Structure 1
């Protein structure tokens, strides 16, 4: 899937808009993301993280820098503004790539609201697919936060389509004169793995009371005390799914992983998680599309052979690769027929609900020791089939 479909992610906008004149503007104040299913209100903030000890592999004269969004259980949200899905500066680039207009789209989160004072919450990291913004994991992040997780979504600078840094500075994806060939994909994955490790380092510092933000800006009240660095999970989509499982293989601070529709390697070059296995729990959720294409099967077979931890593979009927992201919710219904490469017949709201249910179930089961999750009751949802 990293080969055919994830590479195609880099031209998503063109395929969504080619041959159509369809575009839909979100009126000011509209929320189209599903309402989070948990009991808590959700706050959000951003962090600018700079790894002074690592030159950027795409800009070697600069240290590696990242932007992450943090979603967390919040309180007193009525005093804080709702967060926009896309900042004003990023709107032109993002809407051009998605073929939709987003200037008025709001999330379900409240900017810089104080964190809920109810002890420390497990942490979940989110890493997106190849050439995709962290924004497309917002719906999942909000849902997990509403259930009592601190969720950190990350952009991988110079791989994501556009990343906004403080002061309105925007970086675009690095040029790929040879195309999205395996050597390029390996370079991206290597950078991602170090990014993930650095984000974990930064969150550990934050939980200990040190502000990791490069500008040392004011952070939401109580945020540092809301993170539990001893309970960390990770979820990724497509090549982010590969990075998630590989990062857990490399870093024992990560206790559980979810791979959403990704193989565990780059084409025939399997990752170490596939060739050596991991001893911690992994949930793989595949689309019907990836099952039909079959790209992921060899690396997943190797992972099943070598892994010694709890593992399960589920598939969602009538689904395609991007049904595990926010994209189906954002794209107007009239555009969906032109985008069938990316979305299946399953309704967007149902795909989101199932994704949120089973991702949270994995983390509930292994970060909270909950034995009464959706994973403990197979057959409850007819769209979900257990493959192994």
Structure 2
């Protein structure tokens, strides 16, 4: 199995800066939320700096303390060189830059999307990846560490072991017809076990909305930063989420008109049983995952694209495609090819629906990547 010492060169012409911001706010349930975020952005020069640290060693060590991803301990490496640089100047090539959000999978860390975030920043987007309280692990800029909560781990584990869920999983077909997939999906989303999972997704969505509010304050100059007057917000923002981050992505699209479109990477539809997202949405997934999110396209009044990707594993949609040192975690596709698939579909989708460019995800051609459904109620 090929190993990597460095992430791939970004696809775009910009040097990529990265900065970290801590956040604190009181959520709608009156709980105190202490978050962090990495912001990737276009710059003109690395200013002679060395590349950013990938994942903080202290965060990696927290794997020992949470059962949800203990299986990943010692099977992927954080000793890899990134292609971004801390705290560079924002590029002067454009007056303003469009904004995207990235949501990592449950139990993961906001750095896990570094390759995709760096690629998108290198073509001119500002990309925000949040560390969410209880459901992800992260080190804040103030040095404090936050691990996945036991309750979240228990909820996810219980879902995977739920007898009703296991029975439905046994009925999932690799390439179901639409009606069958929608029925299975509705049955999954009606399971009582999902109510608590949905609460965590809703908390993550509230985090995204809060950080979006914060970006507006940065752009207006109410809060001082390099982003004052530099964020292109009036055209709408985009959001992409992997795995458990996918439902958060869909909820944000549904509930916040400031967001123009979203992408789910091998994700589900928890908490979205009867939701019209009212936004274009795209799924890249491994079979039989269509059974887990078919209801979104059935309800969405805007375009919903479902692209099936063969010969890949669930974690291939994040940085583990490059950092894995265990073949059991990986699918059969070359890591660079998988990165190109995820980056190309994300870039084309966002370029079209945010920047209004004449790009089309349907024009992309990769062996084994197939559009199995495109629905629209417009």
Instruction: State how far apart, in whole Å, the 2-side matches of 1:384 and 1:101 are.
Output: 26
Instruction: Report the Cα distance in structure 2 between the residues aligned to 1:138 and 1:237, rounded to whole angstroms.
Output: 12
**Does structure 1 residue 344 correspond to structure 2 residue 356?**
no
Distance (Å, rounded) in 2 between the aligned partners of 1:249 and 1:317: 29
Within 1, Cα distance between the matches of 2:253 and 2:311?
A: 30
2:365 matched to 1:365? no
Deviation at 1:226, TM superposition (A): 3.1
Cα distance, 1:119 vs. partner?
A: 1.5
Distance change (3 Å), C-alpha of 1:104 and 1:321 = closer
**Is the Cα–Cα contact under 8 Å of residues 236 and 243 in structure 1 kept in the other structure?**
yes
Describe the SS at the equivalent of 1:288. Answer: coil
Q: 1:178-230: per-residue Cα shift (whole Å, max 9, x none)? A: 5424343122112111111111111111111133xxxx8xx5xx333332122
Aligned equivalent of 1:168: 143
Q: Match of 1:167, SS?
A: coil
2:280 aligned partner: 281
| Matches for 1:165-314 after TM superposition, within 5 Å | 165-176=140-151, 178-180=154-156, 181=158, 182-211=194-223, 219=225, 222-230=226-234, 231-265=236-270, 270-271=271-272, 274-288=273-287, 290-291=289-290, 294=291, 296=292, 299-300=293-294, 302-314=295-307
Which of 35, 43, 49 lines up with 1:66 in the alignment? 35
Aligned to 1:135: 111
1:80 paired with 2:73, answer: no
Q: 1:252 to 1:45 in 2, by over 3 A?
A: same
Q: 1:320 to 1:305 in 2, by over 3 A?
A: same
1:149 to 99, 120, 125: 125
Structure 1 runs (4+) greater than 6 angstroms displaced: none
Deviation at 1:257, TM superposition (A): 0.4
| Alpha-carbon distance in 2 for matches of 1:252, 1:242 | 17
The one-character-per-residue Cα deviations of 1:242-271 (angstroms, maximum 9, x if unpaired) are: 110111100000001001111212xxxx51
Q: Is the 8 A contact 1:80 1:112 kept in 2?
A: no
Superposed counterparts of 1:99-114, under 5 Å: 99-100=74-75, 102=77, 104-114=79-89
Asked whether the equivalents of residues 15 and 84 of structure 2 are also in contact (C-alpha less than 8 Å), the reply is yes
User: In the alignment, which residue of structure 2 is the partner of 1:40?
Assistant: 14
| In 1: Cα distance, 2:150 partner to 2:116 partner | 30
Give me the TM-score of the superposition, normalised by structure 2.
0.80
What value does the CA root-mean-square deviation take over the aligned residues?
2.4
1:386 correspondence with 2:371? yes
TM, length-normalised to structure 1: 0.78
1:327 pairs with one of 298, 320, 323: 320
- Residue 278 of structure 1 deviates from its aligned partner by 2.3
SS in structure 2 opposite 1:50?
strand
The question of whether the paired residues in 1 share the 8 Å contact of 2:220 and 2:228 is answered with yes
Structure 2 residue runs without a partner (length 5+):
65-69, 159-193, 374-378
Aligned to 1:6: none
Q: 1:91 to 1:246 in 2, by over 3 A?
A: closer
